[in-house]
Structure 1
Amino acid sequence: MGAKAAIISSVADQGVAALTNIIVLVVAARLSTAAGFSVFSMVYMVFTVLLGVGVSYVGQALVLERGTDRVRTACRSAVTFTAVASTVIGLGMAGGLSFVDGSTAHGLAALGLVLPIVLTQDGMRYCFSTLRLPHHALIADTVRLAVAVPALAAQPHGAGPERLIVVWGVSALPALLVGAGLLWPRVKGAPVDLRKFVRRGHLGQRFVIEFGVGNATSQLAVVGLGLFAAPLAVGALRGATTLFGPMNVLFNSATAFGPPLLNRVRGIEGKVRTTAVLAVALSGVAVAWTTVLMLLPDRQGRRLLGDTWAASAGLLPASGAQYACIALGTSALLTLRVLRPRATLPIQVVFSLASVLFMLAGYQMNGVLGAAWGLGLGSALKAVALWLRIMGLRRGQAAAAAASAQDLAPVLAEGGDHYQAHRRDPDPA
């Protein structure tokens, strides 16, 4: 498969996967009451965290594999490990939470039942990426979209979150079977090595830490806000962020395909200018999309989110500001991962925790609207910190270049004098 076709297939696959998530949440919001969608949102956010952990621990390490035989073994091992681990975790969730009172506990128990299906199906995307077959991932994810949306839409209005979660999870089974059918001929006969996933030093362990401090912390904090303070707040926040799903597609595409393209740009100055332009462009798109959503009539908004629209509409300015800041931060992260990959983790740790604190403080001051603005403030400060780090790297490299030039000046001068002398007396002997 050619490079251009592979990139197009990969971008299309990310778009299909993101579109599936957006439509699932929109359909669930339309079918549910505000309280029901809050529970569904909390459970779906827990799934998002578990998916992120799986992708970090298995998927991100998998795509770094090289060599035909190593890749075949790694892919078969990754799918097997994901299936086994998700089954153990899912059965534990289902068995432990089935006897706990409350709709959230029952929703999480339902998630446990379908967890092996949804995690294994998603994990195959990274196998196809490693095997350089992104169009196979696109086929499987298109089947996922084509089955999930009608299955959910066929449910009656007012369906409980447990029922919606089970239908959503089981609807991934056809995509799982299609993906397995496409993958099997590529990995048939390859050995399975599950021990490498539990060995000390497995790359996935570092990636999980980065995911935990970068994304999972704030997501789990929102879940905690729903469990211990205001369940309806989670539905409102999730409804607002669902409307910004197209922005997430752009961010994911920039993160996935930015580094190889940015490495083609010469010099640190050229790289910084390129990502600065990207930052302005993405933040401009976020502002424009926020304006479109804010001008949306209530009638159309209710068609999208049902009863949740009333609460989510008031959060659009705060969420729009947050996504504009995320655009600035995403571009800065992209720059640092090319220039100085190890520089991102400390900033992620500090400002992800700060975002959680700002969210909780904002909620105490002004309810869910304050929480939304708190998340936006955290994203803004993270973006500022990342760009200040980049400016520091620019100054450091410029100073190093100037010092190097100063050190070389006497040598060049001496070489020039020697050259002139040689011209005057080409044969001094």
Structure 2
Amino acid sequence: MRARTAIVASVADQGVAALTNILVLVAAARLTTVTDFARFSAVYLVFTVLLGAGGAYTGQPLVLRRGGGEDARGACRSAAVFTVAASAVLGALMAGVCVLVPGDTARALTVLGLVLPVVLGQDALRYAFSTLQRPHLALGSDLVRLACALGALSAQGYGTGPARLVAVWGLSALPALLLSALLLHRATSGTPVRLRPMLSRGYLGQRFVVEFGVGNATGQLSVLGLGAVADPLLVGALRGATTLFGPLNVLFTSATSFGPPLLGRITGERRRVRATAALAAVLAGTAALWATALVLLPDRAGRELLGDTWPVASALLPATGSQYAAMAAGTCGLLALRMLDPRTTLSIQVVFSLTAVVFMAGGYALGGVPGAAWGLCLGSVCKAVATWTRVVRLRRRSPAAGEVLSADALPSAP
């Protein structure tokens, strides 16, 4: 596939995935009360953490591979099998524990455990198609996912409980999973499944999942924790505000996950870094324009989107919009570092993610929920400055002789 066609297909795929995510949360907000949406948001936040961890462990090392030979095709097949198997085990453990706990949130978590292999498996196959440089296959699968999710959720009535919503949302991904599995089987037929390299010491995904754990997951779980000990509606308010930025959130994640195969087509390290900086400017500008449009949105239109959650979420839009503009710069900075030296991002993730948690807690203590949102914004600004400072330093440093930074350097199974 030509580079321009691949870029168009990848962008379209991310747009469809973004639309699916935002419509799921919009539908949940419209179908539930403020309290039930807070419960659903908490469960969806748990899913988001697991999704990010799965992508970090199997997806991100996968897209750093070069070439489309038998080794890459075998890695794609192995990553898909590993994700489904691991998520089935994790989901069974989650369901087994949560079924013993009373409450609507626990019931919804039980259902999440049961559908986890479906939703995580479908996402893992998107990484595989990106690595194989066949983003049009991922686009087709995500279009099926969007149609099924909209159809299933539109059949629900107001007052639907969180557990039922999770079940409907999760099972709606099954047709897309089956289609993707069939397409991947055809593309990788005859290649062996090797799971041992993904469990061996030194596997690059282990570093990436630690980065995610101290980065994205720390911030998201801290929101859950603060909501549990302080104000339960904090989760719903922050989740409602970030729902409106759903397309940008998916694009940021996709830039790190699916950007390397596309940027790898650009010759020369300097040109790749410049392209990444240009991408950061475009995404930051898009975030600023999107935030401005949301702030100017009439209350009536806002209630059509988020229902009863709109009043509490709309008050956070200036802070959340500013945070997303900073996140654009930070995400693209991390992408540049991944291409220059993927081992350099861990320290930044550790320091500045924990800093963001401190800022969020301090902001909440000083200014309640809006203060927490501005604290998260300040943390994102600090991380963005740190990432691009590291990029500049690495560009001035000559790479060590014989240093191999691609995932191709991972040990192969015997």
After TM superposition, the score normalised by the length of structure 2 is: 0.88
How much does 1:263 deviate? 8.1
1:341 and 1:96, CA in 2 relative to 1: closer, same or farther beyond 3 A?
closer
**Structure 1 residues 278-427: aligned runs within 5 Å:** 278-392=279-393
How much does 1:322 deviate? 0.8
* Contact 2:130-2:261 at 8 Å conserved across structures: no
* Map of 1:407 onto structure 2: none
* Contact 1:259-1:338 at 8 Å conserved across structures: no
Q: Deviation string for 1:268-293 (max 9, x for gaps)?
A: 5x777665554444333322221111
- In 2: Cα distance, 1:296 partner to 1:129 partner: 36
Name the aligned partner's letter for residue 43 of structure 2.
V
* Map of 2:404 onto structure 1: none
1:180 and 1:291, CA in 2 relative to 1: closer, same or farther beyond 3 A?
same
How much does 1:129 deviate? 2.0
* Map of 1:146 onto structure 2: 147
| Secondary structure of residue in 2 paired with 1:296 | coil
- In 1: Cα distance, 2:268 partner to 2:61 partner: 28
**Structure 1 residues 176-191: aligned runs within 5 Å:** 176-191=177-192
What is the CA RMSD across the aligned residues, in angstroms?
A: 2.4
- In 2: Cα distance, 1:135 partner to 1:260 partner: 14
* Map of 1:80 onto structure 2: 81
Could you list the runs of 5+ residues in structure 1 that have no partner in the other structure?
399-429
1:336 and 1:127, CA in 2 relative to 1: closer, same or farther beyond 3 A?
closer
* Contact 1:97-1:105 at 8 Å conserved across structures: yes
- In 1: Cα distance, 2:85 partner to 2:62 partner: 17
How much does 1:390 deviate? 4.2
* Contact 1:140-1:178 at 8 Å conserved across structures: yes
1:189 and 1:164, CA in 2 relative to 1: closer, same or farther beyond 3 A?
same
Q: Deviation string for 1:345-377 (max 9, x for gaps)?
A: 212210000001111121222221111011001
1:282 and 1:258, CA in 2 relative to 1: closer, same or farther beyond 3 A?
farther
- In 2: Cα distance, 1:339 partner to 1:61 partner: 14
1:130 and 1:360, CA in 2 relative to 1: closer, same or farther beyond 3 A?
same
Does residue 7 of structure 1 match 2:2? no
* Contact 2:227-2:235 at 8 Å conserved across structures: yes
> How many residues align structurally?
396
Name the aligned partner's letter for residue 7 of structure 1.
I
* Contact 1:42-1:226 at 8 Å conserved across structures: no
1:7 and 1:275, CA in 2 relative to 1: closer, same or farther beyond 3 A?
closer
Q: Deviation string for 1:244-272 (max 9, x for gaps)?
A: 1232354345444378548847675x777
How much does 1:208 deviate? 0.8
- In 2: Cα distance, 1:259 partner to 1:79 partner: 18
* Map of 1:257 onto structure 2: 259
Does residue 175 of structure 1 match 2:176? yes
1:200 and 1:280, CA in 2 relative to 1: closer, same or farther beyond 3 A?
closer
Higher relative contact order, structure no. (Cα contacts within 8 Å, ≥ 6 residues apart): 2
Which piece of structure 1 moves more, 186-195 or 165-174? Answer: 186-195
Does residue 161 of structure 1 match 2:134? no
Rg larger for: 1
Name the aligned partner's letter for residue 344 of structure 1.
T
* Contact 2:131-2:261 at 8 Å conserved across structures: no
1:265 and 1:80, CA in 2 relative to 1: closer, same or farther beyond 3 A?
closer
Q: Deviation string for 1:33-87 (max 9, x for gaps)?
A: 1111111111111111111111111122233445633233323322222121111
Q: Deviation string for 1:83-132 (max 9, x for gaps)?
A: 21111111111111111012221111110011111111111112222222
Which piece of structure 1 moves more, 132-141 or 384-393? Answer: 384-393
* Contact 2:32-2:161 at 8 Å conserved across structures: yes
* Map of 2:401 onto structure 1: none
- In 2: Cα distance, 1:77 partner to 1:193 partner: 6
How much does 1:325 deviate? 1.5
Which piece of structure 1 moves more, 248-257 or 203-212? Answer: 248-257
- In 2: Cα distance, 1:257 partner to 1:198 partner: 25
1:392 and 1:371, CA in 2 relative to 1: closer, same or farther beyond 3 A?
same
